[in-house]
Amino acid sequence: MDLGKRVYQHSESAGVTLVTLAPERVPDLFIRFLVSRGVRVSLGHSMATYEQTFAAMADGLTGFTHLFNAMPPLAARQPGPIMAALESPDCWYGLIVDGIHVAPPMLRLALEGAGTPMLVTDAMPSVGGTKGSFTLYGREIFAQGGRVTTPDGTLAGSGIDMASAVRNCVDLLGVSLAAALAFASRAPADFLGIGDRFGRIAPGYRADMVALDPAGVRVLGTWLAGAYENT
């Protein structure tokens, strides 16, 4: 089935397959087909209308990849996928909380929505390194002052890690640390359908843990499946 260029992307983690797609670009019943086979479907890089988004959700779409980015903005007569997400209690939407991709007032609006926010980084290879540029799909990308852009200034991913996203929730959005941590852990696990074994510190859950200095939200240590990782 030829779905055209960049209509969908997929990734696999913890035995779960996640597909990000543009609902308006895939055949009828394609989303329903994926969901029937246990795939989690998310809207992203899409120009779908409000009505098309709700039709996709009726077929089983439950996620929104980096809400606000790479989709139509909210407008008075064209609410688009953003409003569909904010009105739907049975969906999850990723937010890039770097203060660059989305203005803090819009992020605060998303936190008031009926759906469940979750943090995504959209991090590029420069995160955690010292180089000021790298190559992506044959194009030079520049990372400076927290911004990651193409030579013409177009955003090309973000320059934050997850700890920074949590910290920004507290500092920029006035969210409690406990809530911000839930956006980074429990919410994504629930979205992927693995919230019964990931995303919480509790008996029977996999011991993926991060120790943080609560004052500065600085990572002190990391454990993967109970094994300490030198950070």
Q: What is the pLDDT of residues 54-99, one digit of tens each?
A: 999 999 999 999 999 999 999 999 999 999 999 999 999 999 999 9
- Is 150 part of any domain? yes
Q: Judge whether 118 lies within some domain.
A: no
12-31 mean pLDDT: 91
Residue 92, in any domain of the structure: no
Would you say residue 128 lies in a domain?
yes
Please choose, from the candidates 48, 42, 41, 9, the residue with its C-alpha nearest in 3D space to the C-alpha of residue 25. 48
CA distance 120 to 127: 14
Q: Which residues span the domain enclosing 148? A: 124-159
What is the full DSSP assignment across 68-102? TTTSPPP-SS--HHHHHHHH-TT-EEEE--SSSSS
The answer to whether residue 164 is domain-embedded is: no
Does the pLDDT at position 44 exceed 60?
yes
Q: What one-character-per-residue DSSP string does 36-52 give?
A: HTT-EEEE-S----HHH
- Give the pLDDT confidence score for residue 9 in this predicted structure: 61
Q: Which helix (H) or strand (E) holds 135?
A: strand 133-136
Contact 84, 57 (CB under 8 A): yes
Buried b (16+ CB within 10 A) or exposed e, 29-50: ebbebbbeeebbbbbbbbebbb
pLDDT of residue 1 exceeding 70, the answer is no
Q: Catalytic positions, please?
A: 122
| pLDDT, position 4 | 42
Count how many domains the chain has: 1
State percent of the chain over pLDDT 90.
86
Categorize the per-residue pLDDT at 116 as very low, low, confident or very high, splitting at 50, 70 and 90: very high
Q: Which tokens in the block code for residue 101?
A: 């991709």
Residue 133 lies in a domain: yes
Residue 214 near residue 177, CB atoms below 8 Å: yes
Instruction: Answer whether 0.95 is exceeded by the pTM.
Output: no
- Residue 69 placed within a domain: no
- 149 occurs within a structural domain: yes
Instruction: Categorize the per-residue pLDDT at 2 as very low, low, confident or very high, splitting at 50, 70 and 90.
Output: very low
